[in-house]
Amino acid sequence: MNRPLPTLKPAVRTIAVTVLLWTAITALGALQTYSDNLRGGAASHYPSLFVKWFLEYAVPLIVLSAGLSLALGRWPVLLERPRNVVGLFFGLVLVFQPAQWLYMAWLRGYLPIDSAGALWQLLMKMLLVGWFSTTGTFAAILAIHYWRQARARELAWQRSQTDMLGLRLALEEQRLLALRAQLEPHFLFNALNAISALVRDGDKTLALGGIGRLSDLLRYALTASVRNTATVADELGFVRDYLDLQRLRYGERLRVHIDGVSELLEQVACPSLLLQPLIENALRHDLDCREGPGDIRLAFERDGDTLCIRVANPAGPGTPANPGAGLGLANTRDRLRLMHPSASLQAGLQGDRFVAEVRLPLALAD
């Protein structure tokens, strides 16, 4: 019993709009005829003209417009192929057009017809009266139907794009969380290694100091884990603390030169825990691979609308072309790409040094 309700309201709306439209057209047509009669000096009565126009012209075209609109709405397959459109038009010509002519002839008193000649004259009169209005109505209904179909496809496409964008954003957020979950244990593992080395050496005082520094580092890491971005200045402060912890392990061998520090670093946004994996990578491929003091260089330089960050360390003769393809650098590269399409990380040998270069857009931090 409730099934016809969803289709009843659109049908009523279609019929109501059709009646209103043709009533308005009838009012304008009757007004034009009334004006022409007055200019020609003929007696004229506008209400009578309106009723005549409505009964003779509007009623058939209301039936055609509403019936065709409802049929196309219910059976859109009627217009799926050009031959269907042609067939529908010829059906209109063969069925509706004669019915309209007979209706108008009945209203005008042309019936009954007593000869073939009278029938021919009637057809000629009705041809000029109804052909163009009927054909024009058919064309207008088809145009409106095609427009509605195109609009529906466009809205469906927009909804699909919105859904895809939402799904992609959700996937990117989950991926970012996964990258963070990988990075933080990785950092913790390496920091604990530094402290465990002090314990093995029997230096409890330095080990306790290292644990204190580690707690400060973990406090920053936990805070950073709930933020998408940090400032480069904050990350530099975290790296300095991290180097102080590593200095307990490496002693005077750990030498890091930092250049280009300015107020600009307070304004540039970057992924949290950005610099630490780069410095850790440099330590692993510098101090852990050779004897003697290290030579790690961290430099900041503005290049147009980009902040360039370079971390460089010496590369021995047997160093592979891409020694920095581990978890830390891989995660850093992915997190940069998720933060901004123009952010990037390039790493590789440049002469006798391995260089990791980060490029960040000069976007204000949150």
Average pLDDT over every residue of 284-299: 84
Helix (H) or strand (E) holding 281: helix 275-286
| Beta carbons within 10 angstroms of residue 3's beta carbon | 7
Predicted confidence (pLDDT) at residue 56 exceeds the cutoff of 70: yes
Query: Which residue has better confidence, 164 or 119?
Result: 164
Given 162, 193, 209, the domain boundary residue is 162
Predicted confidence (pLDDT) at residue 208 exceeds the cutoff of 60: yes
Average pLDDT over every residue of 194-203: 68
The predicted structure's pLDDT at residue 233:
93
Q: Is residue 366 part of a domain?
A: no
Distance CA 258, CA 81 (A): 72
pLDDT band at 260 (very low <50, low <70, confident <90, very high): very high
The predicted structure's pLDDT at residue 339:
80
Average pLDDT, the chain: 76
Overall domain count for the chain: 2
The predicted structure's pLDDT at residue 315:
80
Are 62 and 206 in a shared domain? no
Are 130 and 167 in a shared domain? no
Predicted confidence (pLDDT) at residue 311 exceeds the cutoff of 50: yes
Average pLDDT over every residue of 153-163: 80
- The secondary structure of 42-109, three-state, reads CCCCHHHHHHHHHHHHHHHHHHHHHHHHHHHHHCHHHHCCHHHHHHHHHHHHHHHHHHHHHHHHHHHC
| Beta carbons within 10 angstroms of residue 196's beta carbon | 13
Average pLDDT over every residue of 142-148: 76
Q: Is residue 174 part of a domain?
A: yes
Distance CA 101, CA 44 (A): 25
**Residue 345 belongs to domain with CATH number:** 3.30.565.10
Q: Is residue 355 part of a domain?
A: yes
The predicted structure's pLDDT at residue 47:
84
Q: Is residue 338 part of a domain?
A: yes
Are 11 and 69 in a shared domain? yes
Query: Which residue has better confidence, 210 or 180?
Result: 210
Are 84 and 178 in a shared domain? no
Domain coverage including residue 20: 5-162
pLDDT band at 7 (very low <50, low <70, confident <90, very high): very low
Average pLDDT over every residue of 111-130: 66
Are 29 and 62 in a shared domain? yes
Predicted confidence (pLDDT) at residue 188 exceeds the cutoff of 70: no
pLDDT band at 187 (very low <50, low <70, confident <90, very high): low
Is residue 123 within 8 A of residue 100, CB to CB? The reply is: no
